Amino acid sequence: MIFEKIEKIISLRKGKKVSSVKAKGPDCLRYLQIEDLRNDNNLKYTDETDLVGVDYDNIVIAWDGSKAGTVSFNLEGIIGSTLAKITIKEEFKSKIIPQYLGRYLQFNYDYFQKTNTGATIPHVSKNALFKLEILLPDLETQNKIVAVLDKASALIQKREKSIEFLDELLRSTFLDMFEPDLINFKKENRSLEQIATIVSGVTKGRKTKETNFTEVPYLRVANAQDGYFNLDEIKTISATEKEIERYSVLKGDLLITEGGDPDKLGRGAIWELEDNKFIYQNHLFRIRLNNLEEYSPTWLAQIFASKYGKSYFLRQAKQTTGIATINKRQVSGFPIPKCSFIKQKEFEKLCLSIKQKKENLKKSLSLLSNLFNSILQKAFNGDLIFNIDIGLDALIDAEDKNTIRKDQSYLQGLIDKLENQEFEDLASYEKAKNILFQLLKEENSIEQKFIEDKEKLITTF
């Protein structure tokens, strides 16, 4: 195996300050900033075309900022001052393709983050970048690796978009069902404090005369995300028996944040676990409905998350530089619209269905992400073994059967390869066979027939 230092392979050029234009003209080029390395959601353009430009033969790396080390490729345009252009030197253009180099540099994002320089604004360390050594297989193998990684990346993006679609479906359905009520909710006399109890949580480092304490898990702002609880890191706090009773979190309680970025103000989620050993910190408000036969926690949480709820919190909030906060009085005064409880329960049922679909997609996304990282690790260590013709099929696992069902040309190709036994390694053959057998059991449209004159079993759909 041949390894080469990155320093020998590439040249580096930093971007410059660029002025954007309001509207794209005939001579304008895309103005690339760090967010453009992740998505195309905010396209900008410039007419300063004599600055540092990139094309499909270059790799772009975020050189400065909190996301320093973020890498992208297959981009065209003019790069800003926080980005840098990576070009493969002429003598190496016949030995490495840009997409392979780009994937390798993406693989080293954590390394760039750990080795960055700068006391206030992080910068990629040029020395750290140049010290890296990259495996240089033949170009055919590089193309295979890129194709497999592109396939895995496309599947990951598909899962992410599906999750985003479900979120948007929930928001739009909520508005369809309740927007007339929400438009008039300012006229209602009922406020949140009339239908629920609102309690701020325990303060860390508080003074107390009590001497008996119990160590209990407690929820922080970092745990209360928008619509769910992130329980990856749970901290504990010493609390008295009275505090544990007062600040306990029960199933159906809604916890929202008191402050943060203006667009995240009042974010929160419903506690759905039966376990009531948790308490919560003072930067969260616990909202416990008085009558679950009159109001649905799911419905209430969605009102808070809607543009109507966010608008109320922003109007009421105290704002400083980039931070907005609300107090208990403002939360208590949140106006409650008059909505049919039957409709609330209908929405709750739909919400639970969508949530289950999201959970399944997230599990699939996690599997694909682990697979992607595993392939990256093996590819750049020289441990990835696969047949060039079936390389993409090796990515397909049972959890992606839905994709195969909808792609008849792909399914036919998989059947043909199985019948002709076009596999060089047993692992790829067994994986493809296992998927097809699962589809045979599940699908009426796929069947096996015995052809007497040819004395063979064939698969059709």
Distance CA 268, CA 228 (A): 7
Verify that 192 and 84 share a domain, yes or no: no
Report residue 365's pLDDT band, with 50, 70 and 90 as the boundaries.
confident
Report residue 129's pLDDT band, with 50, 70 and 90 as the boundaries.
very high
Verify that 224 and 96 share a domain, yes or no: no
Verify that 195 and 322 share a domain, yes or no: yes
Report residue 319's pLDDT band, with 50, 70 and 90 as the boundaries.
confident
Interacting residues of 428 by C-beta distance below 8 A, sequence separation 6+: 386, 387, 390, 393, 394
Average pLDDT of span 316-327: 85
Verify that 189 and 282 share a domain, yes or no: yes
Verify that 217 and 126 share a domain, yes or no: no
The enclosing H or E element of 410 equals helix 408-420
Report residue 69's pLDDT band, with 50, 70 and 90 as the boundaries.
very high
Verify that 261 and 192 share a domain, yes or no: yes
DSSP letters along 75-94, please? --EEE-TTEEEEEE-GGGTT
Verify that 201 and 119 share a domain, yes or no: no
Domain count, the chain: 3
Verify that 113 and 195 share a domain, yes or no: no
Q: Indicate the SS3 state at residue 200.
A: strand
The answer to whether the beta carbons of residues 32 and 80 sit under 8 Å apart is yes
CATH number at residue 317: 3.90.220.20
For residue 180, tell me if it sits in a domain.
no
As a whole number, the mean pLDDT across the chain is 84
The answer to whether the beta carbons of residues 104 and 76 sit under 8 Å apart is no
Using CA atoms of 341, 346, 347, 351 in order, give the dihedral in degrees to the nearest 10. 140
The answer to whether the beta carbons of residues 223 and 238 sit under 8 Å apart is no
β-strands 77-79, 29-32: how paired? parallel
For residue 157, tell me if it sits in a domain.
no
CB atoms within 10 A of CB 391: 17
DSSP lists the bridge partners of residue 31 as: 78
Verify that 195 and 332 share a domain, yes or no: yes
For residue 69, tell me if it sits in a domain.
yes
Distance CA 123, CA 61 (A): 11
Q: What is the pLDDT of residues 272-312, one digit of tens each?
A: 988 778 999 999 999 999 999 999 999 999 999 988 888 89
pLDDT for residue 219 is more than 70 = yes
The answer to whether the beta carbons of residues 385 and 148 sit under 8 Å apart is no
Q: Write out the residue range of the structural domain in which residue 289 sits.
A: 185-336
Verify that 201 and 317 share a domain, yes or no: yes
The answer to whether the beta carbons of residues 123 and 368 sit under 8 Å apart is no
Distance CA 361, CA 369 (A): 12
Q: Indicate the SS3 state at residue 116.
A: coil
For residue 174, tell me if it sits in a domain.
no
The whole model's pTM is what? 0.71
DSSP lists the bridge partners of residue 45 as: 21, 30
Report residue 379's pLDDT band, with 50, 70 and 90 as the boundaries.
confident
For residue 163, tell me if it sits in a domain.
no
Verify that 190 and 324 share a domain, yes or no: yes
For residue 394, tell me if it sits in a domain.
yes
For residue 122, tell me if it sits in a domain.
yes
Domain endpoint, select from 112, 136, 160: 136
Verify that 196 and 329 share a domain, yes or no: yes
